[in-house]
Amino acid sequence: MSQEYRMKDRLNIAIDGLSGCGKSTLAKGLARHYGIIYVDTGALYRTVGLCMIKKGIASDDEKAIVDSLPEVDISVRLNDGGAEVLLAGVPVGDEIRTPLASKYASDVSRIPEVRAFLLDTQRRLAAENSCVMDGRDIGTVIMPSADVKIYLTAGDGERAARRRDELAEKGVPAKLDEIREALTKRDANDMNRTAAPAVAAPDAVKLDNSGFTKEQTLAAAIAIIDKAVMK
């Protein structure tokens, strides 16, 4: 880490983009590079969705979801350089990474009351720590004053293939055409929702990592960040 970074009280980096662009992989790499914590905000929405799954509430039953929010016991603890999400005191692990959990995350994230429910937690983490957050409204809503904002993009086919490979590594079988269909639906939900739609912040740097390796994406992002904070 450069001297300029050491002299800053905090370094906040916002990574936004649609599903399958490699946001989480990039954010984790940046956290390691700069020695700051990684906050996976999508995991918070997935955890709300997981809670609704466990309660047997349909993902499109908005009233039941909102009514159940006071019973959702989500907490975050710092662990090995990251923020680990817990539901009722138990780490959620890969339970939130299934296709069903992804669908619930997309559906609950459209509900303004859910977004408000999680907003304070996310902003508190940013205010108290040097961190990198990834999601869909980090640079526009969660950390509008972030030191650097990157909007990550990639082609639809490549995003679907990446998500399939990610699930396969975790032993979760999934068909490419089903993943692509799910991504298309989630893109539409995320970009067209009324509450905090998934759009690039006006001052975000767009990074298309189509055809990039993980290492190339990380190197490109580091170059963007170093240039921004050393102005």
Instruction: List alpha helices for the chain, DSSP H.
Output: 3-7, 23-34, 41-55, 62-68, 99-109, 112-128, 156-169, 176-192, 214-229
Closest to 147 in 3D by CA, of 35, 24, 231: 231
The C-alpha atoms of residue 14 and residue 142 are separated, in whole angstroms, by 9
182's tokens:
């799910």
Total domains, the chain: 1
**What tens digit of pLDDT does each residue of 196-213 get?**
677 889 999 999 999 999
pLDDT score, position 7: 37
Contact 176, 160 (CB under 8 A): yes
pLDDT score, position 71: 93
Q: Which domain holds residue 155?
A: 3-229
The C-alpha atoms of residue 31 and residue 134 are separated, in whole angstroms, by 11
What predicted TM-score, i.e. pTM, was given to this entire model? 0.74
Is the model's pLDDT at 179 over the cut of 70?
yes
Confidence band (pLDDT; 50, 70, 90) for 181? confident
Q: Residue with structure tokens 């984790």? A: 28
Closest to 158 in 3D by CA, of 28, 46, 18, 40: 18
pLDDT score, position 2: 40
Closest to 49 in 3D by CA, of 38, 58, 39: 58
The C-alpha atoms of residue 222 and residue 213 are separated, in whole angstroms, by 14
Q: Which residues contact 198 (CB under 8 A, 6 or more apart)?
A: 16, 17, 18, 136, 137, 187, 190, 191
The C-alpha atoms of residue 231 and residue 228 are separated, in whole angstroms, by 6
Q: Are strands 37-40 and 74-79 parallel, antiparallel or unpaired?
A: unpaired
The C-alpha atoms of residue 200 and residue 152 are separated, in whole angstroms, by 9
Is the model's pLDDT at 30 over the cut of 70?
yes
Q: DSSP state, 132?
A: E
CATH code: domain of residue 182: 3.40.50.300
Is the model's pLDDT at 164 over the cut of 50?
yes
Confidence band (pLDDT; 50, 70, 90) for 69? very high
